[in-house]
Amino acid sequence: MHIDVVTLFPDMFAGILGDSILKRAQEKKKVTIDLRNLRDWTHDKRRTVDDKPFGGGPGMVIKPEPVYEACDDLCKKNTRVILLTPQGEKFNQRIARQLSRMRHIVLICGHYEGFDERIRELADREISIGDYVLTGGEIPAMVVIDTVVRLIPGVLGEKDSLVNESFTTSLLEYPHYTRPRVFRGKKVPEVLLSGNHEQIEQWRADQALKKTKKRRRDLL
Protein backbone atom coordinates (compact mmCIF):
# COMPACT_ATOMS: atom_id res chain seq x y z
CA MET A 1 0.00 0.00 0.00
CA HIS A 2 1.05 3.56 -0.68
CA ILE A 3 -0.29 6.48 1.38
CA ASP A 4 0.17 10.13 0.48
CA VAL A 5 -0.67 12.67 3.18
CA VAL A 6 -1.37 16.20 1.94
CA THR A 7 -0.88 18.54 4.89
CA LEU A 8 0.28 21.99 5.91
CA PHE A 9 2.22 20.52 8.84
CA PRO A 10 4.21 17.44 7.74
CA ASP A 11 6.52 17.68 10.77
CA MET A 12 3.61 16.68 13.02
CA PHE A 13 3.84 13.12 11.69
CA ALA A 14 7.49 12.45 12.56
CA GLY A 15 6.82 10.78 15.91
CA ILE A 16 4.00 8.45 14.96
CA LEU A 17 5.58 7.32 11.68
CA GLY A 18 9.03 6.81 13.18
CA ASP A 19 8.15 4.38 15.98
CA SER A 20 6.53 1.06 16.77
CA ILE A 21 4.29 -0.78 14.29
CA LEU A 22 4.19 1.97 11.65
CA LYS A 23 7.98 2.14 11.56
CA ARG A 24 8.29 -1.62 11.20
CA ALA A 25 5.58 -1.74 8.52
CA GLN A 26 7.57 0.71 6.43
CA GLU A 27 10.83 -1.14 7.03
CA LYS A 28 9.17 -4.40 5.92
CA LYS A 29 7.94 -2.64 2.74
CA LYS A 30 4.32 -3.35 3.61
CA VAL A 31 3.48 0.34 3.22
CA THR A 32 5.10 3.50 1.94
CA ILE A 33 3.97 6.80 3.44
CA ASP A 34 4.85 10.13 1.86
CA LEU A 35 4.18 13.48 3.51
CA ARG A 36 3.26 16.17 1.00
CA ASN A 37 3.25 19.85 1.91
CA LEU A 38 0.21 21.50 0.36
CA ARG A 39 2.21 24.71 -0.07
CA ASP A 40 4.32 22.96 -2.71
CA TRP A 41 1.38 23.41 -5.08
CA THR A 42 1.14 27.19 -4.67
CA HIS A 43 2.57 29.75 -7.09
CA ASP A 44 2.99 32.98 -5.13
CA LYS A 45 5.87 34.16 -2.95
CA ARG A 46 3.86 33.73 0.25
CA ARG A 47 2.84 30.18 -0.73
CA THR A 48 -0.77 31.05 0.06
CA VAL A 49 -3.21 28.18 0.55
CA ASP A 50 -6.16 30.02 2.13
CA ASP A 51 -8.34 33.08 1.61
CA LYS A 52 -11.30 34.90 3.16
CA PRO A 53 -14.73 33.31 2.60
CA PHE A 54 -17.10 34.89 0.10
CA GLY A 55 -20.09 36.33 1.91
CA GLY A 56 -18.05 37.15 4.99
CA GLY A 57 -17.65 35.25 8.20
CA PRO A 58 -14.86 34.24 10.58
CA GLY A 59 -11.70 32.38 9.68
CA MET A 60 -10.01 31.48 6.44
CA VAL A 61 -10.89 28.82 3.88
CA ILE A 62 -8.50 26.49 2.03
CA LYS A 63 -8.39 27.45 -1.64
CA PRO A 64 -9.28 24.88 -4.31
CA GLU A 65 -6.29 25.45 -6.63
CA PRO A 66 -3.47 23.85 -4.58
CA VAL A 67 -5.60 20.87 -3.57
CA TYR A 68 -6.68 20.21 -7.15
CA GLU A 69 -3.10 20.48 -8.38
CA ALA A 70 -1.90 18.13 -5.63
CA CYS A 71 -4.46 15.53 -6.70
CA ASP A 72 -3.55 16.03 -10.37
CA ASP A 73 0.06 15.14 -9.53
CA LEU A 74 -0.52 12.38 -6.97
CA CYS A 75 -3.59 10.50 -8.13
CA LYS A 76 -3.46 7.47 -10.37
CA LYS A 77 -6.08 5.11 -11.75
CA ASN A 78 -6.38 3.10 -8.52
CA THR A 79 -6.12 6.05 -6.10
CA ARG A 80 -8.78 6.81 -3.51
CA VAL A 81 -8.89 10.36 -2.16
CA ILE A 82 -9.95 10.73 1.48
CA LEU A 83 -10.94 14.12 2.91
CA LEU A 84 -10.50 14.43 6.69
CA THR A 85 -13.40 16.61 7.75
CA PRO A 86 -15.92 16.81 10.63
CA GLN A 87 -18.67 16.54 8.00
CA GLY A 88 -17.53 13.06 6.97
CA GLU A 89 -18.86 9.64 7.95
CA LYS A 90 -17.78 8.39 11.38
CA PHE A 91 -14.59 6.34 11.11
CA ASN A 92 -14.77 2.78 12.43
CA GLN A 93 -13.15 -0.64 12.06
CA ARG A 94 -15.34 -1.54 9.06
CA ILE A 95 -14.10 1.49 7.11
CA ALA A 96 -10.53 0.75 8.20
CA ARG A 97 -10.77 -2.77 6.76
CA GLN A 98 -12.09 -1.40 3.48
CA LEU A 99 -9.25 1.12 3.21
CA SER A 100 -6.62 -1.50 4.09
CA ARG A 101 -7.45 -3.28 0.82
CA MET A 102 -6.67 -0.20 -1.28
CA ARG A 103 -3.40 0.09 -3.18
CA HIS A 104 -3.09 3.88 -2.94
CA ILE A 105 -4.90 6.42 -0.79
CA VAL A 106 -4.41 10.18 -0.56
CA LEU A 107 -5.35 11.73 2.78
CA ILE A 108 -6.12 15.44 2.59
CA CYS A 109 -5.89 17.25 5.92
CA GLY A 110 -8.13 20.23 6.43
CA HIS A 111 -7.22 23.31 8.44
CA TYR A 112 -8.46 26.82 9.23
CA GLU A 113 -12.23 27.27 8.86
CA GLY A 114 -12.58 24.48 6.31
CA PHE A 115 -12.36 23.60 2.63
CA ASP A 116 -13.69 25.44 -0.38
CA GLU A 117 -16.79 23.36 -1.15
CA ARG A 118 -15.50 22.50 -4.63
CA ILE A 119 -12.68 20.47 -3.07
CA ARG A 120 -15.25 17.92 -1.92
CA GLU A 121 -15.79 16.92 -5.54
CA LEU A 122 -12.27 15.44 -5.52
CA ALA A 123 -12.97 13.09 -2.61
CA ASP A 124 -13.99 9.47 -2.95
CA ARG A 125 -14.78 9.52 0.75
CA GLU A 126 -15.04 12.01 3.60
CA ILE A 127 -14.10 10.78 7.06
CA SER A 128 -14.50 12.15 10.59
CA ILE A 129 -13.02 10.52 13.70
CA GLY A 130 -15.62 11.98 16.06
CA ASP A 131 -17.97 14.77 16.98
CA TYR A 132 -15.53 17.24 18.47
CA VAL A 133 -13.39 20.10 17.21
CA LEU A 134 -9.70 19.66 16.32
CA THR A 135 -7.24 22.21 15.02
CA GLY A 136 -6.82 20.39 11.73
CA GLY A 137 -6.96 17.09 9.89
CA GLU A 138 -3.50 15.92 10.89
CA ILE A 139 -4.53 13.99 14.01
CA PRO A 140 -7.45 12.30 12.18
CA ALA A 141 -5.00 11.35 9.41
CA MET A 142 -2.71 9.76 12.00
CA VAL A 143 -5.64 7.79 13.42
CA VAL A 144 -6.63 6.54 9.97
CA ILE A 145 -3.04 5.58 9.09
CA ASP A 146 -2.44 3.72 12.33
CA THR A 147 -5.75 1.84 12.16
CA VAL A 148 -5.45 0.93 8.48
CA VAL A 149 -1.78 -0.06 8.32
CA ARG A 150 -2.01 -2.59 11.16
CA LEU A 151 -4.71 -4.41 9.11
CA ILE A 152 -2.40 -4.95 6.14
CA PRO A 153 -1.43 -8.65 5.99
CA GLY A 154 2.03 -9.26 7.42
CA VAL A 155 2.25 -6.04 9.43
CA LEU A 156 1.39 -7.63 12.78
CA GLY A 157 3.34 -10.65 13.90
CA GLU A 158 0.49 -12.93 15.01
CA LYS A 159 -2.70 -13.47 13.00
CA ASP A 160 -4.76 -13.95 16.18
CA SER A 161 -3.79 -10.48 17.41
CA LEU A 162 -6.10 -9.05 14.75
CA VAL A 163 -8.90 -11.57 15.13
CA ASN A 164 -9.32 -11.03 18.88
CA GLU A 165 -9.10 -7.26 19.05
CA SER A 166 -11.94 -4.99 20.09
CA PHE A 167 -14.45 -4.11 17.32
CA THR A 168 -13.15 -6.85 14.99
CA THR A 169 -16.09 -9.06 16.03
CA SER A 170 -18.40 -6.16 17.02
CA LEU A 171 -17.55 -6.86 20.66
CA LEU A 172 -15.09 -5.27 23.04
CA GLU A 173 -12.02 -7.37 23.76
CA TYR A 174 -12.01 -9.80 26.69
CA PRO A 175 -9.93 -8.99 29.85
CA HIS A 176 -6.20 -9.70 29.86
CA TYR A 177 -4.00 -10.77 32.76
CA THR A 178 -0.29 -11.41 33.26
CA ARG A 179 2.11 -12.10 36.16
CA PRO A 180 1.94 -11.90 39.12
CA ARG A 181 -0.94 -14.34 39.69
CA VAL A 182 -1.93 -12.38 42.81
CA PHE A 183 -1.44 -8.62 43.04
CA ARG A 184 -2.55 -6.72 46.16
CA GLY A 185 -5.08 -9.42 46.86
CA LYS A 186 -6.50 -9.43 43.33
CA LYS A 187 -6.22 -12.87 41.70
CA VAL A 188 -6.04 -13.94 38.08
CA PRO A 189 -9.19 -15.96 37.16
CA GLU A 190 -8.50 -19.66 37.73
CA VAL A 191 -9.76 -20.66 34.29
CA LEU A 192 -6.80 -18.87 32.68
CA LEU A 193 -4.41 -21.01 34.68
CA SER A 194 -6.18 -24.29 33.93
CA GLY A 195 -4.56 -25.07 30.60
CA ASN A 196 -7.99 -26.05 29.23
CA HIS A 197 -8.09 -24.07 25.97
CA GLU A 198 -11.74 -24.80 25.27
CA GLN A 199 -12.81 -23.44 28.64
CA ILE A 200 -10.50 -20.45 28.25
CA GLU A 201 -12.01 -19.56 24.85
CA GLN A 202 -15.52 -19.88 26.25
CA TRP A 203 -14.62 -17.68 29.24
CA ARG A 204 -13.13 -15.06 26.94
CA ALA A 205 -16.21 -15.06 24.72
CA ASP A 206 -18.48 -14.69 27.75
CA GLN A 207 -16.35 -11.88 29.17
CA ALA A 208 -16.26 -10.02 25.86
CA LEU A 209 -20.05 -10.15 25.65
CA LYS A 210 -20.46 -9.12 29.28
CA LYS A 211 -18.07 -6.17 28.90
CA THR A 212 -19.79 -5.01 25.71
CA LYS A 213 -23.23 -5.14 27.32
CA LYS A 214 -21.94 -3.08 30.24
CA ARG A 215 -19.85 -0.49 28.40
CA ARG A 216 -20.96 -0.35 24.75
CA ARG A 217 -24.44 -1.80 24.38
CA ASP A 218 -24.76 0.13 21.11
CA LEU A 219 -22.34 -2.34 19.49
CA LEU A 220 -24.69 -5.30 20.04
One-letter amino acid at 37 equals N
Tally of domains in the chain = 2
My answer on whether 194 and 103 are in the same domain is no
My answer on whether 170 and 70 are in the same domain is no
- CATH number at 55 reads 3.40.1280.10
Q: Average pLDDT for residues 179-200, to the nearest whole number?
A: 94
pLDDT for the residue 220 = 86
My answer on whether 184 and 127 are in the same domain is no
pLDDT for the residue 166 = 53
164 band by pLDDT with thresholds 50, 70 and 90: low
**194 domain residue, yes or no:** yes
My answer on whether 105 and 186 are in the same domain is no
Q: How far is residue 96's CA from residue 12's CA, in Å, rounded to a whole number?
A: 22
- The sign of the CA dihedral 141, 142, 143, 148 is positive
Q: With contact defined as beta carbons under 8 Å apart, do 109 and 141 qualify?
A: yes
My answer on whether 141 and 196 are in the same domain is no
**157 domain residue, yes or no:** no
Which pTM was predicted? Answer: 0.85
Q: How far is residue 135's CA from residue 60's CA, in Å, rounded to a whole number?
A: 13
- Percentage of residues in the chain having pLDDT higher than 70: 95
My answer on whether 138 and 191 are in the same domain is no
Mean pLDDT over all residues of the chain? 92
- CATH number at 183 reads 1.10.1270.20
Q: By C-alpha distance, which of 72, 89, 99 is closest to 6?
A: 72
Range of the domain at 203: 164-219
pLDDT for the residue 72 = 97
My answer on whether 14 and 100 are in the same domain is yes
Q: Of 149, 182, 197, which residue sits at a domain end?
A: 149
pLDDT for the residue 163 = 55
Q: Largest alpha-carbon pair distance within the chain?
A: 70
Q: By C-alpha distance, which of 126, 125, 155, 129 is closest to 142?
A: 129
